[in-house]
Protein backbone atom coordinates (compact mmCIF):
# COMPACT_ATOMS: atom_id res chain seq x y z
CA UNK A 1 0.00 0.00 0.00
CA UNK A 2 1.18 3.54 -0.71
CA UNK A 3 0.79 6.68 1.40
CA UNK A 4 -2.76 7.95 1.63
CA UNK A 5 -3.74 11.50 0.72
CA UNK A 6 -3.83 13.97 3.64
CA UNK A 7 -7.64 14.27 3.62
CA UNK A 8 -8.73 10.97 2.12
CA UNK A 9 -12.48 11.49 2.62
CA UNK A 10 -12.54 15.02 1.22
CA UNK A 11 -13.03 15.31 -2.54
CA UNK A 12 -10.88 17.92 -4.26
CA UNK A 13 -12.37 19.83 -7.17
CA UNK A 14 -10.79 19.07 -10.56
CA UNK A 15 -11.75 20.83 -13.77
CA UNK A 16 -12.21 18.91 -17.02
CA UNK A 17 -9.77 20.24 -19.61
CA UNK A 18 -10.38 17.64 -22.30
CA UNK A 19 -12.93 14.96 -23.16
CA UNK A 20 -12.07 12.18 -25.62
CA UNK A 21 -14.81 9.91 -26.96
CA UNK A 22 -12.87 6.64 -27.19
CA UNK A 23 -15.63 4.16 -28.08
CA UNK A 24 -19.42 4.19 -28.25
CA UNK A 25 -19.65 3.66 -24.47
CA UNK A 26 -16.18 4.71 -23.30
CA UNK A 27 -14.66 8.15 -22.82
CA UNK A 28 -11.58 9.75 -21.31
CA UNK A 29 -11.59 12.77 -19.02
CA UNK A 30 -8.43 14.84 -18.64
CA UNK A 31 -8.54 16.76 -15.37
CA UNK A 32 -6.53 19.45 -13.65
CA UNK A 33 -6.74 20.39 -9.96
CA UNK A 34 -8.63 23.61 -9.32
CA UNK A 35 -6.12 24.44 -6.61
CA UNK A 36 -3.22 24.01 -9.06
CA UNK A 37 -0.17 21.90 -8.34
CA UNK A 38 0.59 18.32 -9.23
CA UNK A 39 -1.20 15.02 -8.74
CA UNK A 40 1.26 12.20 -8.12
CA UNK A 41 0.14 8.60 -8.46
CA UNK A 42 1.53 5.18 -9.25
CA UNK A 43 0.46 3.01 -12.17
CA UNK A 44 -2.48 0.79 -11.25
CA UNK A 45 -3.93 3.11 -8.60
CA UNK A 46 -7.47 4.46 -8.71
CA UNK A 47 -9.41 7.54 -7.65
CA UNK A 48 -12.94 7.98 -6.40
CA UNK A 49 -14.57 10.31 -8.92
CA UNK A 50 -17.54 12.30 -7.71
CA UNK A 51 -20.12 13.41 -10.25
CA UNK A 52 -21.90 16.07 -8.18
CA UNK A 53 -25.50 15.14 -7.56
CA UNK A 54 -25.07 11.61 -8.93
CA UNK A 55 -22.51 9.90 -6.72
CA UNK A 56 -19.00 8.54 -6.52
CA UNK A 57 -17.33 5.70 -8.43
CA UNK A 58 -13.87 4.11 -8.30
CA UNK A 59 -12.02 4.62 -11.58
CA UNK A 60 -8.46 3.57 -12.38
CA UNK A 61 -6.06 6.22 -13.56
CA UNK A 62 -5.20 5.74 -17.24
CA UNK A 63 -2.62 8.49 -17.74
CA UNK A 64 1.16 8.66 -17.55
CA UNK A 65 2.57 8.56 -14.00
CA UNK A 66 5.48 10.71 -15.19
CA UNK A 67 3.06 13.49 -16.12
CA UNK A 68 1.71 14.74 -12.79
CA UNK A 69 0.33 17.96 -14.26
CA UNK A 70 -2.88 16.32 -15.36
CA UNK A 71 -5.04 13.45 -14.27
CA UNK A 72 -6.46 11.08 -16.88
CA UNK A 73 -9.36 8.68 -16.38
CA UNK A 74 -10.89 6.41 -19.00
CA UNK A 75 -14.44 5.45 -18.10
CA UNK A 76 -17.01 3.05 -19.47
CA UNK A 77 -20.63 4.12 -19.05
CA UNK A 78 -22.29 1.31 -17.17
CA UNK A 79 -24.44 3.01 -14.54
CA UNK A 80 -25.96 6.32 -13.43
CA UNK A 81 -22.72 7.82 -12.05
CA UNK A 82 -20.56 6.93 -15.04
CA UNK A 83 -23.34 8.14 -17.32
CA UNK A 84 -23.39 11.43 -15.39
CA UNK A 85 -19.60 11.68 -15.80
CA UNK A 86 -20.06 10.99 -19.51
CA UNK A 87 -22.45 13.90 -19.84
CA UNK A 88 -19.89 16.41 -18.49
CA UNK A 89 -18.09 18.85 -20.77
CA UNK A 90 -14.83 20.74 -20.83
CA UNK A 91 -14.90 23.30 -18.02
CA UNK A 92 -17.13 21.25 -15.73
CA UNK A 93 -15.85 20.20 -12.32
CA UNK A 94 -15.72 16.78 -10.67
CA UNK A 95 -14.66 15.75 -7.17
CA UNK A 96 -11.58 13.56 -6.82
CA UNK A 97 -10.45 11.51 -3.83
CA UNK A 98 -7.27 9.52 -4.07
CA UNK A 99 -5.05 8.07 -5.27
CA UNK A 100 -5.85 4.78 -3.57
CA UNK A 101 -4.68 1.20 -3.74
CA UNK A 102 -1.69 -0.87 -4.70
CA UNK A 103 0.34 -0.24 -7.86
CA UNK A 104 1.50 -2.47 -10.70
CA UNK A 105 4.95 -3.72 -9.64
CA UNK A 106 6.74 -2.39 -12.70
CA UNK A 107 10.08 -1.78 -10.96
CA UNK A 108 9.96 -5.27 -9.46
CA UNK A 109 9.86 -6.62 -13.01
CA UNK A 110 13.15 -4.99 -14.07
CA UNK A 111 15.33 -7.66 -15.64
CA UNK A 112 12.37 -9.82 -16.66
CA UNK A 113 10.33 -10.08 -19.82
CA UNK A 114 7.25 -7.96 -19.12
CA UNK A 115 4.02 -9.45 -20.41
CA UNK A 116 0.94 -7.24 -20.34
CA UNK A 117 -2.41 -8.90 -20.97
CA UNK A 118 -5.48 -6.71 -21.25
CA UNK A 119 -9.07 -7.32 -22.22
CA UNK A 120 -11.65 -4.71 -23.20
CA UNK A 121 -11.54 -1.56 -21.08
CA UNK A 122 -8.97 -3.37 -18.89
CA UNK A 123 -6.34 -1.76 -21.08
CA UNK A 124 -7.04 1.57 -19.33
CA UNK A 125 -5.66 0.60 -15.87
CA UNK A 126 -2.66 -0.99 -17.59
CA UNK A 127 -1.79 2.01 -19.76
CA UNK A 128 0.12 3.80 -16.96
CA UNK A 129 2.22 0.62 -16.52
CA UNK A 130 2.87 0.55 -20.27
CA UNK A 131 4.01 4.19 -20.20
CA UNK A 132 6.26 3.37 -17.26
CA UNK A 133 7.67 0.31 -19.03
CA UNK A 134 8.32 2.28 -22.22
CA UNK A 135 10.11 4.98 -20.21
CA UNK A 136 12.34 2.27 -18.75
CA UNK A 137 12.45 0.06 -21.83
CA UNK A 138 16.13 -0.88 -21.52
CA UNK A 139 15.52 -2.35 -18.04
CA UNK A 140 13.34 -5.20 -19.34
CA UNK A 141 13.86 -8.15 -21.62
CA UNK A 142 10.97 -8.46 -24.02
CA UNK A 143 7.99 -6.15 -23.68
CA UNK A 144 4.87 -7.90 -24.94
CA UNK A 145 1.41 -6.35 -24.96
CA UNK A 146 -1.51 -8.69 -25.67
CA UNK A 147 -4.92 -7.10 -26.02
CA UNK A 148 -8.31 -8.66 -26.66
CA UNK A 149 -11.43 -6.73 -27.62
CA UNK A 150 -14.93 -7.66 -28.65
CA UNK A 151 -14.76 -6.42 -32.26
CA UNK A 152 -12.38 -4.19 -34.26
CA UNK A 153 -14.68 -1.25 -33.46
CA UNK A 154 -14.17 -1.86 -29.73
CA UNK A 155 -10.39 -1.57 -29.69
CA UNK A 156 -9.47 0.98 -27.03
CA UNK A 157 -6.53 3.36 -27.55
CA UNK A 158 -6.19 2.06 -31.10
CA UNK A 159 -3.81 4.80 -32.27
CA UNK A 160 -1.52 4.20 -29.33
CA UNK A 161 -1.55 0.44 -29.89
CA UNK A 162 -0.55 1.11 -33.50
CA UNK A 163 2.19 3.47 -32.33
CA UNK A 164 3.56 0.94 -29.84
CA UNK A 165 3.37 -1.78 -32.47
CA UNK A 166 5.46 0.31 -34.86
CA UNK A 167 8.37 0.31 -32.39
CA UNK A 168 11.04 -2.32 -32.91
CA UNK A 169 11.32 -3.08 -29.21
CA UNK A 170 7.69 -3.83 -28.33
CA UNK A 171 5.58 -6.80 -29.43
CA UNK A 172 1.92 -5.88 -29.66
CA UNK A 173 -0.69 -8.56 -30.35
CA UNK A 174 -4.29 -7.53 -30.80
CA UNK A 175 -7.11 -10.01 -31.20
CA UNK A 176 -10.87 -9.60 -31.38
CA UNK A 177 -13.59 -12.07 -30.51
CA UNK A 178 -15.38 -11.57 -33.78
CA UNK A 179 -14.94 -9.59 -36.94
CA UNK A 180 -16.53 -8.96 -40.28
CA UNK A 181 -15.42 -7.14 -43.39
CA UNK A 182 -11.93 -5.83 -43.86
CA UNK A 183 -10.33 -6.76 -40.52
CA UNK A 184 -6.89 -8.14 -41.34
CA UNK A 185 -5.86 -8.82 -37.75
CA UNK A 186 -6.32 -11.78 -35.50
CA UNK A 187 -9.66 -13.25 -34.40
CA UNK A 188 -9.92 -15.42 -31.30
CA UNK A 189 -9.70 -15.06 -27.54
CA UNK A 190 -6.68 -13.38 -26.01
CA UNK A 191 -5.66 -16.64 -24.29
CA UNK A 192 -4.84 -18.03 -27.76
CA UNK A 193 -2.28 -15.27 -28.15
CA UNK A 194 -0.83 -15.94 -24.68
CA UNK A 195 -0.38 -19.59 -25.63
CA UNK A 196 1.93 -18.70 -28.50
CA UNK A 197 3.68 -15.50 -27.39
CA UNK A 198 7.46 -15.67 -27.24
CA UNK A 199 8.55 -14.94 -23.67
CA UNK A 200 10.84 -16.72 -21.25
CA UNK A 201 8.45 -18.15 -18.63
CA UNK A 202 11.08 -18.42 -15.92
CA UNK A 203 12.03 -14.76 -16.27
CA UNK A 204 8.67 -13.16 -16.90
CA UNK A 205 6.42 -10.84 -14.94
CA UNK A 206 2.82 -10.74 -16.17
CA UNK A 207 0.31 -7.96 -15.52
CA UNK A 208 -3.29 -8.89 -16.29
CA UNK A 209 -6.44 -6.76 -16.35
CA UNK A 210 -9.84 -7.34 -17.87
CA UNK A 211 -13.15 -9.03 -17.10
CA UNK A 212 -12.68 -11.58 -14.31
CA UNK A 213 -13.45 -14.57 -16.54
CA UNK A 214 -10.90 -13.42 -19.08
CA UNK A 215 -8.30 -12.95 -16.32
CA UNK A 216 -8.97 -16.44 -14.99
CA UNK A 217 -8.27 -18.06 -18.36
CA UNK A 218 -5.37 -15.74 -19.13
CA UNK A 219 -3.71 -16.53 -15.80
CA UNK A 220 -4.32 -20.25 -16.40
CA UNK A 221 -2.53 -20.00 -19.73
CA UNK A 222 0.36 -17.96 -18.32
CA UNK A 223 0.72 -20.57 -15.58
CA UNK A 224 0.60 -23.40 -18.13
CA UNK A 225 3.42 -21.66 -19.96
CA UNK A 226 5.46 -21.97 -16.76
CA UNK A 227 5.34 -18.49 -15.24
CA UNK A 228 5.31 -18.78 -11.40
CA UNK A 229 2.11 -17.32 -9.93
CA UNK A 230 4.02 -15.00 -7.63
CA UNK A 231 5.12 -13.20 -10.80
CA UNK A 232 1.59 -12.81 -12.10
CA UNK A 233 -0.39 -9.76 -11.00
CA UNK A 234 -4.06 -9.03 -11.58
CA UNK A 235 -6.20 -5.96 -10.99
CA UNK A 236 -9.46 -6.74 -9.23
CA UNK A 237 -12.67 -4.80 -9.21
CA UNK A 238 -15.18 -4.84 -6.38
CA UNK A 239 -17.69 -2.42 -4.94
CA UNK A 240 -15.16 0.13 -3.67
CA UNK A 241 -16.74 2.97 -1.66
CA UNK A 242 -14.46 4.58 0.93
CA UNK A 243 -11.10 3.76 -0.64
CA UNK A 244 -9.59 3.23 2.80
CA UNK A 245 -10.63 -0.28 3.83
CA UNK A 246 -13.03 1.11 6.44
CA UNK A 247 -16.53 0.66 5.07
CA UNK A 248 -16.21 -3.00 4.09
CA UNK A 249 -18.11 -2.76 0.81
CA UNK A 250 -15.23 -4.21 -1.19
CA UNK A 251 -14.33 -6.99 1.23
CA UNK A 252 -13.07 -10.02 -0.66
CA UNK A 253 -12.30 -12.85 1.74
CA UNK A 254 -9.60 -11.49 4.07
CA UNK A 255 -8.88 -8.53 1.75
CA UNK A 256 -10.33 -5.12 1.14
CA UNK A 257 -9.85 -4.57 -2.56
CA UNK A 258 -9.61 -0.76 -2.19
CA UNK A 259 -6.81 -1.02 0.36
CA UNK A 260 -5.02 -4.33 -0.31
CA UNK A 261 -5.65 -4.15 -4.05
CA UNK A 262 -6.74 -3.45 -6.67
CA UNK A 263 -3.46 -4.99 -7.88
CA UNK A 264 -2.82 -8.37 -6.26
CA UNK A 265 -0.03 -10.87 -6.64
CA UNK A 266 -1.87 -13.88 -8.01
CA UNK A 267 -0.21 -16.37 -5.66
CA UNK A 268 -1.81 -14.48 -2.74
CA UNK A 269 -5.34 -14.71 -4.09
CA UNK A 270 -5.26 -17.89 -6.17
CA UNK A 271 -7.61 -19.71 -3.80
CA UNK A 272 -10.11 -16.85 -3.68
CA UNK A 273 -10.13 -16.23 -7.40
CA UNK A 274 -12.47 -19.03 -8.46
CA UNK A 275 -14.83 -18.76 -5.45
CA UNK A 276 -18.08 -17.54 -6.91
CA UNK A 277 -19.69 -16.77 -3.53
CA UNK A 278 -17.15 -14.01 -2.79
CA UNK B 1 11.23 -28.43 -55.11
CA UNK B 2 10.98 -29.63 -51.53
CA UNK B 3 12.68 -32.99 -50.96
CA UNK B 4 11.34 -35.76 -48.72
CA UNK B 5 14.09 -35.14 -46.16
CA UNK B 6 13.22 -31.41 -46.10
CA UNK B 7 9.58 -32.25 -45.37
CA UNK B 8 10.74 -34.51 -42.55
CA UNK B 9 12.78 -31.67 -41.06
CA UNK B 10 9.88 -29.21 -41.43
CA UNK B 11 7.52 -31.65 -39.69
CA UNK B 12 10.08 -32.22 -36.95
CA UNK B 13 10.46 -28.50 -36.33
CA UNK B 14 6.75 -27.70 -36.35
CA UNK B 15 5.32 -27.38 -32.80
CA UNK B 16 2.43 -29.71 -33.62
CA UNK B 17 4.65 -32.71 -34.26
CA UNK B 18 7.50 -31.65 -31.98
CA UNK B 19 9.39 -34.64 -30.58
CA UNK B 20 7.64 -37.25 -32.73
CA UNK B 21 9.34 -40.62 -33.10
CA UNK B 22 11.45 -40.94 -36.26
CA UNK B 23 9.60 -43.99 -37.55
CA UNK B 24 6.22 -42.27 -37.23
CA UNK B 25 7.57 -39.12 -38.82
CA UNK B 26 8.65 -41.24 -41.78
CA UNK B 27 5.08 -42.48 -42.18
CA UNK B 28 3.75 -38.91 -42.03
CA UNK B 29 6.19 -37.66 -44.64
CA UNK B 30 4.81 -40.17 -47.13
CA UNK B 31 1.44 -38.36 -46.98
CA UNK B 32 2.82 -34.79 -46.83
CA UNK B 33 3.31 -32.06 -49.39
CA UNK B 34 4.50 -28.51 -49.33
CA UNK B 35 1.91 -25.88 -50.27
CA UNK B 36 1.45 -22.14 -50.48
CA UNK B 37 -1.67 -20.05 -50.68
CA UNK B 38 -1.70 -16.40 -51.67
CA UNK B 39 -3.37 -13.64 -49.68
CA UNK B 40 -7.13 -13.72 -50.12
CA UNK B 41 -7.23 -17.22 -51.61
CA UNK B 42 -9.27 -19.96 -50.01
CA UNK B 43 -7.55 -23.02 -48.63
CA UNK B 44 -10.90 -24.78 -48.43
CA UNK B 45 -14.59 -23.94 -48.44
CA UNK B 46 -17.39 -24.87 -46.08
CA UNK B 47 -19.09 -28.10 -47.15
CA UNK B 48 -16.14 -29.15 -49.27
CA UNK B 49 -14.53 -32.56 -48.97
CA UNK B 50 -12.08 -32.51 -46.04
CA UNK B 51 -9.34 -34.39 -47.81
CA UNK B 52 -6.36 -32.76 -46.07
CA UNK B 53 -5.12 -31.06 -42.96
CA UNK B 54 -2.41 -28.43 -42.74
CA UNK B 55 0.45 -27.23 -40.59
CA UNK B 56 1.10 -23.51 -40.95
CA UNK B 57 4.78 -22.76 -41.45
CA UNK B 58 4.39 -19.03 -42.08
CA UNK B 59 1.46 -16.68 -42.57
CA UNK B 60 -2.07 -16.74 -41.24
CA UNK B 61 -5.39 -18.33 -42.09
CA UNK B 62 -8.77 -17.00 -41.04
CA UNK B 63 -11.70 -19.31 -40.45
CA UNK B 64 -14.88 -17.75 -41.69
CA UNK B 65 -18.59 -18.31 -41.99
CA UNK B 66 -20.41 -16.71 -44.85
CA UNK B 67 -23.88 -15.35 -44.25
CA UNK B 68 -25.90 -13.46 -46.83
CA UNK B 69 -24.36 -10.02 -47.10
CA UNK B 70 -21.49 -10.59 -44.70
CA UNK B 71 -18.58 -12.79 -43.82
CA UNK B 72 -17.91 -13.45 -40.14
CA UNK B 73 -14.39 -14.31 -39.04
CA UNK B 74 -14.44 -16.70 -36.10
CA UNK B 75 -10.79 -17.57 -35.61
CA UNK B 76 -7.34 -16.87 -36.94
CA UNK B 77 -4.62 -19.48 -37.08
CA UNK B 78 -0.99 -18.53 -37.46
CA UNK B 79 2.51 -19.91 -37.76
CA UNK B 80 3.00 -23.04 -35.67
CA UNK B 81 -0.67 -23.98 -35.62
CA UNK B 82 -2.64 -26.76 -37.28
CA UNK B 83 -5.61 -26.19 -39.59
CA UNK B 84 -8.47 -28.65 -39.87
CA UNK B 85 -9.68 -31.72 -38.09
CA UNK B 86 -12.78 -32.48 -40.19
CA UNK B 87 -10.65 -35.01 -42.07
CA UNK B 88 -10.73 -37.15 -38.90
CA UNK B 89 -14.49 -37.33 -38.48
CA UNK B 90 -17.05 -38.60 -40.94
CA UNK B 91 -18.53 -37.36 -43.23
CA UNK B 92 -15.21 -35.53 -43.78
CA UNK B 93 -16.70 -32.16 -44.73
CA UNK B 94 -15.25 -28.75 -43.86
CA UNK B 95 -17.40 -26.78 -41.45
CA UNK B 96 -15.85 -23.35 -42.20
CA UNK B 97 -14.20 -21.45 -45.01
CA UNK B 98 -10.45 -21.06 -44.56
CA UNK B 99 -8.85 -18.07 -46.27
CA UNK B 100 -5.26 -16.84 -46.29
CA UNK B 101 -4.89 -13.37 -44.74
CA UNK B 102 -1.44 -13.08 -46.27
CA UNK B 103 0.88 -15.29 -48.30
CA UNK B 104 0.86 -18.49 -46.26
CA UNK B 105 3.15 -21.49 -46.48
CA UNK B 106 1.93 -24.82 -45.20
CA UNK B 107 2.59 -28.52 -45.10
CA UNK B 108 -0.50 -30.47 -46.14
CA UNK B 109 -1.28 -34.10 -45.32
CA UNK B 110 -3.41 -36.23 -47.58
CA UNK B 111 -6.28 -37.43 -45.38
CA UNK B 112 -7.01 -40.68 -47.18
CA UNK B 113 -3.33 -41.63 -47.16
CA UNK B 114 -2.94 -40.79 -43.48
CA UNK B 115 -6.18 -42.41 -42.34
CA UNK B 116 -5.06 -45.59 -44.09
CA UNK B 117 -1.72 -45.55 -42.31
CA UNK B 118 -3.40 -44.80 -38.97
CA UNK B 119 -5.74 -47.79 -39.45
CA UNK B 120 -2.79 -50.02 -40.23
CA UNK B 121 -0.47 -48.69 -37.52
CA UNK B 122 -2.20 -48.17 -34.17
CA UNK B 123 0.87 -46.40 -32.77
CA UNK B 124 0.66 -43.78 -35.51
CA UNK B 125 -3.11 -43.51 -35.04
CA UNK B 126 -2.69 -42.94 -31.32
CA UNK B 127 0.11 -40.43 -31.80
CA UNK B 128 -1.83 -38.32 -34.30
CA UNK B 129 -5.01 -38.36 -32.18
CA UNK B 130 -3.03 -37.63 -29.00
CA UNK B 131 -1.82 -34.44 -30.65
CA UNK B 132 -5.15 -33.45 -32.14
CA UNK B 133 -7.32 -33.92 -29.03
CA UNK B 134 -5.72 -31.07 -26.98
CA UNK B 135 -6.04 -28.77 -29.99
CA UNK B 136 -9.73 -29.66 -30.28
CA UNK B 137 -10.22 -29.20 -26.54
CA UNK B 138 -8.44 -25.84 -26.52
CA UNK B 139 -10.47 -24.58 -29.48
CA UNK B 140 -13.72 -25.73 -27.91
CA UNK B 141 -12.85 -23.86 -24.69
CA UNK B 142 -11.86 -20.77 -26.70
CA UNK B 143 -15.12 -20.91 -28.64
CA UNK B 144 -17.08 -21.11 -25.40
CA UNK B 145 -15.22 -18.05 -24.12
CA UNK B 146 -16.11 -16.19 -27.31
CA UNK B 147 -19.75 -17.14 -26.75
CA UNK B 148 -19.61 -15.65 -23.24
CA UNK B 149 -19.12 -12.25 -24.86
CA UNK B 150 -16.60 -11.23 -22.19
CA UNK B 151 -16.35 -7.62 -23.24
CA UNK B 152 -20.01 -7.10 -23.98
CA UNK B 153 -22.18 -4.46 -22.33
CA UNK B 154 -22.59 -4.87 -18.56
CA UNK B 155 -25.94 -6.30 -17.54
Three-state SS letters, B27-38: HHHCCEEEEEEC
pLDDT at residue number B62 = 94
Q: ∠ CA A268-A269-A274 to the nearest 5 degrees?
A: 155
* Separation CA A106–CA A274 (nearest Å): 26
Give the pLDDT confidence of A21-46 residue by residue, as tens digits.
999 999 999 999 998 888 999 999 99
pLDDT at residue number B1 = 54
Give me the mean pLDDT over the B25-48 stretch: 95
| Pair A179, A97: CB distance under 8 Å | no
Q: Which one has a higher pLDDT value, B124 or B141?
A: B124
Let me know whether A230 and A113 are in one domain: yes
Task: State the pLDDT confidence band at B39, using cuts at 50, 70 and 90.
Answer: very high
Q: Write down the pTM of the prediction.
A: 0.90
With 0-12 CB in 10 A as exposed, 13-18 as middle and 19+ as buried, what is B140? exposed
Q: Is the pLDDT of residue A148 over 90?
A: yes
Mean pLDDT score across all residues of chain A: 93
Give me the mean pLDDT over the A217-237 stretch: 94
* Number of folded domains that form chain A: 2
- How far is the first Cα of chain A from the last one, in angstroms, to the nearest whole number? 22
Task: State the pLDDT confidence band at A226, using cuts at 50, 70 and 90.
Answer: very high
Q: What are phi and psi of B139, to 5 degrees?
A: -70, -35
pLDDT at residue number B127 = 96
Task: Give domain status of residue A276, yes or no.
Answer: no
Sheet-wide strand order for A179-180? A179-180, B70-78, B60-67, B97-100, B42-44
Give the pLDDT confidence of B71-103 residue by residue, as tens digits.
889 999 999 999 999 999 999 999 999 999 999
pLDDT at residue number B5 = 66
Confidence check on the interface: ipTM exceeds 0.90, yes or no: no
Let me know whether A88 and A145 are in one domain: no
Mean pLDDT score across all residues of chain B: 92
pLDDT at residue number B154 = 61
Max intra-chain CA distance, chain B: 58
Task: State the pLDDT confidence band at B22, using cuts at 50, 70 and 90.
Answer: very high
A175 and B154 in contact by Cβ < 8 A? no
Residue of B138, B142, B146 lying closest to A178 (CB–CB): B146
Q: Is the pLDDT of residue A79 over 60?
A: yes
Let me know whether A133 and A190 are in one domain: yes
Last residue of a domain, one of A50, A75, A100: A100
Let me know whether A138 and A22 are in one domain: no
> Which three-class secondary structure state does DSSP give residue B95?
coil
pLDDT at residue number B4 = 65
> B128: which residues sit within 8 A by CB, 6+ positions away?
B114, B118
Residue of A150, A185, A187 lying closest to B151 (CB–CB): A150
Would you tell me which residues 134-153 of chain B have a C-beta closer than 8 angstroms to some C-beta of chain A?
138, 141-142, 145-146, 148-153
Mutation test of the interface with chain A: which of B81, B150, B154, choosing the one with the most A Cβ atoms within 10 A?
Answer: B150
Q: ∠ CA B21-B24-B30 to the nearest 5 degrees?
A: 140
Task: Give domain status of residue A190, yes or no.
Answer: yes
> Which three-class secondary structure state does DSSP give residue A195?
helix
Strand A204-209 and strand A113-119: pairing?
parallel
Let me know whether A200 and A89 are in one domain: no
Let me know whether A86 and A125 are in one domain: no
Share of chain A above pLDDT 90, in %: 74
Q: How far is A187 from chain B (nearest CA, A)?
A: 5
pLDDT at residue number A201 = 94
B72 and A179 in contact by Cβ < 8 A? yes
Last residue of a domain, one of A199, A220, A235: A235
B149 and A186 in contact by Cβ < 8 A? no
Q: Is the pLDDT of residue A224 over 70?
A: yes
Residue of A148, A149, A178 lying closest to B74 (CB–CB): A178
CATH number of the CATH domain containing A149: 3.40.50.80
Let me know whether A95 and A112 are in one domain: no
Task: Give domain status of residue A116, yes or no.
Answer: yes
Residue of A119, A179, A186 lying closest to B150 (CB–CB): A119
Mutation test of the interface with chain A: which of B151, B152, B153, B154, choosing the one with the most A Cβ atoms within 10 A?
Answer: B151
pLDDT at residue number A181 = 73
* Separation CA A52–CA B141 (nearest Å): 44
Share of chain B above pLDDT 90, in %: 79
Task: State the pLDDT confidence band at A3, using cuts at 50, 70 and 90.
Answer: low
B101 and A213 in contact by Cβ < 8 A? no
Let me know whether A194 and A168 are in one domain: yes
Give the pLDDT confidence of A249-268 residue by residue, as tens digits.
889 889 998 899 999 999 99
Mutation test of the interface with chain B: which of A153, A189, A209, choosing the one with the most B Cβ atoms within 10 A?
Answer: A189
pLDDT at residue number B151 = 86
> DSSP labels for A118-161?
EEGGGHHHHHHHHHHHHHTGGGSS-EEEEEEESSGGG-TTHHHH
pLDDT at residue number A93 = 97
pLDDT at residue number B3 = 64
Q: Is the pLDDT of residue A218 over 60?
A: yes
A191 and B76 in contact by Cβ < 8 A? no
Residue of B71, B76, B151 lying closest to A211 (CB–CB): B151
Let me know whether A121 and A75 are in one domain: no
CATH architecture classification, B4-148: Sandwich (2.60)
In chain B, where are the structural domains located? 4-148
A188 and B70 in contact by Cβ < 8 A? no
B145 and A150 in contact by Cβ < 8 A? no
Q: What are phi and psi of B56, to 5 degrees?
A: -85, 125
A188 and B72 in contact by Cβ < 8 A? no
Q: Is the pLDDT of residue A244 over 90?
A: no
Give the pLDDT confidence of A92-107 residue by residue, as tens digits.
999 999 999 999 999 9
> B136: which residues sit within 8 A by CB, 6+ positions away?
B85
With 0-12 CB in 10 A as exposed, 13-18 as middle and 19+ as buried, what is A10? exposed
CATH number of the CATH domain containing A32: 2.40.30.10
Structural domain of A44: 12-100
| Residue in chain A lying closest to B101 (CA) | A184
> Which three-class secondary structure state does DSSP give residue A178?
coil
A191 and B142 in contact by Cβ < 8 A? yes
DSSP summary character for residue B41: -
| Residue in chain B lying closest to A155 (CA) | B151
- Residue A136 to residues A104, A133, B143: CA-CA distances in angstroms? 14, 5, 37
Amino acid sequence: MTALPAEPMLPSPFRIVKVVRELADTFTLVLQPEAGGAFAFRSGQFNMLYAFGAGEVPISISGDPADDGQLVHTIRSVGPVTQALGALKVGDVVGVRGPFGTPWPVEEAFGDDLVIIAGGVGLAPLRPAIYQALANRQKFGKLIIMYGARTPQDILFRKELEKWRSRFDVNVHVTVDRATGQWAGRVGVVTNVVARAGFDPLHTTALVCGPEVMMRYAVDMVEKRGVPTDKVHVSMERNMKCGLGLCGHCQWGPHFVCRDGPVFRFSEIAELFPVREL
Amino acid sequence: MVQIEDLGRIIDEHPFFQGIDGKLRGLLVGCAANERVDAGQYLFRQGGHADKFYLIRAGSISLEIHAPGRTIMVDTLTEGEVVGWSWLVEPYRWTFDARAQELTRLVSFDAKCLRGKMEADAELGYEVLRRFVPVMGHRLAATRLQLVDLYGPAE
